[in-house]
Homo-oligomer: A and B are copies of this chain.
Amino acid sequence: MKKYKGLLLDLDGTMYRGNEVIQEAPFFVEECRKRGIPYVFLTNNSSKQPVQVADKLNGMGIHALPEQVYTSSMAAAAYIQRKFSEPNVFMIGEEGLESALLAGGATLTEENADVVVVGIDRELSYDKLRKAALNIQNGAAFVSTNKDRAIPTEEGMLPGNGAVTEAIALTAGISPVYVGKPEALIVEEALEVLGVSKEEALLVGDNYETDISAGIYAGVDTLMVETGATSFEDLNEVESQPTYKVKKLDEWTFS
């Protein structure tokens, strides 16, 4: 087995389920630390700031620093920063997206935006949808943190950012640039934070549609763990397979 120099670790379904740690996860991350293998947590959740994500992980016994967290909000901000200098941005989103945009030099605005960015927003309103659609029709670029249609929770599937983004796209008649998993973009950005090349990295996740596909699109080896969204049986339906698969993370042998 190849010796990997850096790991990209998914969160929900891989490290925890909702507010419950997945039993094998803390030991797996601890092994990385002991062996001096750098790791970064890679999440499509755009609502939280890195420090909040790190706090949650540490509370579950998983060692995490804020600088080891890379969110789809950070990928969106990085993408915008490369394309525009000091842009005016109309944002639908929560504090995770807002702080990433401001850190990237953006100015938030309601009108005459250069860019419209859409992330999950539990304060979504018709007026926000309206402003997003109008700014896009007036020429703003259209960026969305991720295309996840629904968020799995204990009460059921809740509206995901992909579903809300689609409503705006249907209104404006324009498709967005997505930056979150399964897009290669977020993986490439996270590799820069990790400081390793794509050939040296392993992406670990439970969801074929987002995690494993992101690795495949970005040319990064993948390890699928069967503790979340995708079962081994589901893999019969897909052409490109993960590089490795394990039922639980404790089956993985670090080489």
Interface residues of A (CB under 8 A from B): 121-127, 129-130, 133-134, 137-138, 149-150, 155-160, 162-164, 166-168, 170-173
Contacts and interface: CB of A to CB of B under 8 A. Distances in A.
Number of copies: 2
Given A133-B159, A164-B167, 4 more contacts: A129-B163, A130-B159, A137-B156, A160-B171
B156 A138 contact: yes
Given A125-B125, A129-B124, A156-B133, A171 B167 contact: no
A163 B170 contact: yes
A155 B167 contact: no
Closest 3 CB pairs of A and B: A124-B126, A163-B170, A163-B167
A167 B157 contact: no
Contacts of A168: 159, 163
A132 to B, nearest CB: 9
A171 B149 contact: yes
Contact of A133 (B157, B170, B172, B173): B157
A137 B149 CA distance: 14
Contacts of A162: 170
Contacts of A159: 126, 129-130, 133, 167-168, 171
A111 to B, nearest CB: 11
A137 B153 CA distance: 12
Contact of A170 (B122, B129, B150): B150
Contacts of A129: 124, 159, 163-164
A103 to B, nearest CB: 25
A137 B157 CA distance: 8
Contacts of A123: 125-126
Nearest to A129: B159
Contacts of A150: 133, 170-173
A155 B129 CA distance: 14
Contacts of A127: 122
A151 to B, nearest CB: 9
A157 B130 CA distance: 8
Nearest to A134: B156
21 contacts: A122-B126, A124-B125, A124-B126, A124-B129, A126-B159, A129-B163, A130-B158, A133-B159, A134-B158, A149-B170, A149-B173, A150-B172, A150-B173, A157-B171, A160-B170, A160-B171, A162-B170, A163-B167, A163-B168, A164-B167, A166-B167
